Structures are given as structure tokens and as C-alpha cells.
Amino acid sequence: KYVEQANGAALTNGNVVEAMEGSFVEFADKLKESGVKVGKFRADGGQKVYAQQELQLGSFPTILFFPKHSSQAIKYPSEKRDVDSLLAFVNALR
């Protein structure tokens, strides 16, 4: 359960399955020079209430993008977790 962070923006990802970890690492690497930061947030345990109330996370994995100039998160609308799909989503919002 993670948050993928972008520059002043952020992406969140709930319970990242090990098989998906490689895609997120590659995704973060490709965005490194763009100013988009990718990080992790554990959305269970002590953070579960925050994740449910503040981020409206009900199921995992969930990916959110927090645009730099907005207080509203945008939920990733697809089950596709490959690098190209994630990049297309972020690039469409920047």
C-alpha cells in the first residue's frame, strides 16, 4: 500500500503487489528528470483511517495523482499497471 508522489503532485498506490513493484520502479525512473517524484505510502495499519477518510481509498491497489496546483487527487482510472499506461496517465494530466 503505497503513495506514488509527483513534484508538488503525487500518485498514490494502495497495496502494491510484488509483481507490480518493477513497473513502479521503472515508472519512477522514467519520471526522474521530469520533476515528477514517485514515493510510497503504506495505507493500512495506522494510516488506514487517513487513507479512507482523506484520500477516499476503499480498495487496493489505488493510484492517485496529486497535481501541483490542486488540492484534489485524481484517481487512476485503469487496471493497467504497465509503465506506458502509467506514463500516459501522468503526461495527460501535466
- CATH code: domain of residue 63: 3.40.30.10
Q: What percent of the chain has pLDDT over 70?
A: 79
SS3 18: helix
Question: Has residue 21 got a pLDDT over 70?
Answer: yes
Question: Has residue 74 got a pLDDT over 90?
Answer: no
Q: At 83, is the pLDDT very low, low, confident or very high (cuts 50, 70, 90)?
A: very high
Q: What are phi and psi of 67, to 5 degrees?
A: -60, 145
Q: How far apart are CA 62 and CA 76, in angstroms?
A: 7
The CA-based angle 14-20-21, given to 5 degrees, is 85
pTM above 0.75, yes or no: no
Question: Domain range spanning residue 19?
Answer: 9-93
Average pLDDT over residues 45-62: 81
Q: Does residue 26 fall inside a structural domain?
A: yes
Q: Does residue 41 fall inside a structural domain?
A: yes
- What's the number of domains the chain is made of? 1
